[in-house]
Structure 1
Amino acid sequence: MEIIVSNKASRPLYEQISSQIKAAIMSGELKAGEAIPSVRSLAKSLHISILTVQKAYATLQEDGFIETTAGKGCYVSAQNQDFYLEEQQKKIEEKFAEAIEIARTSGISLNKLTDLLTLMYQEDDGE
Structure 2
Amino acid sequence: MKIIVSNSSNEPIYEQISKQIKGMILKGELNEGDLLPSIRGLAKDLQISVITTKRAYDELEKEGFIETMQGKGSYVAGQNKELMREKKLKIIEEKLAEVVEESKLLGLNYEEIEEMLKILFQEV
TM-score interval, smaller chain: 0.7 to 0.9
Query: Which residue matches 1:71?
Result: 71
Q: Distance in 2 between matches of 1:24 and 1:82?
A: 15
TM-score (norm 1): 0.73
Query: Which residue matches 2:4?
Result: 4
1:96 CA drift (Å): 6.0
The percent of aligned pairs where both chains have the same amino acid is: 47
Query: Which residue matches 1:81?
Result: 81
2:11 partner amino acid: R
1:10 partner amino acid: N
Q: Distance in 2 between matches of 1:34 and 1:117?
A: 40
Query: Secondary structure at the residue paired with 1:67?
Result: strand
1:38 partner amino acid: S
1:89 CA drift (Å): 2.5
Larger displacement relative to structure 2 (21-30 or 34-43): 21-30
- List runs of 5+ in structure 2 lacking aligned partners: none
1:57 CA drift (Å): 0.4
Cα distance change on mapping 1:47 and 1:78 into 2, 3 Å: same
1:34 CA drift (Å): 0.4
1:28 CA drift (Å): 1.2
Q: Which has the larger radius of gyration?
A: 1
Query: Which residue matches 2:40?
Result: 40
Q: Distance in 2 between matches of 1:45 and 1:87?
A: 30
Cα distance change on mapping 1:12 and 1:80 into 2, 3 Å: farther
Query: Which residue matches 2:28?
Result: 28
Q: Distance in 2 between matches of 1:25 and 1:91?
A: 17
Moved over 6 A (4+): 115-123
1:90 partner amino acid: K
Number of residue equivalences: 116
Cα distance change on mapping 1:86 and 1:7 into 2, 3 Å: same
1:65 partner amino acid: F
CA RMSD of aligned residues (A): 2.7
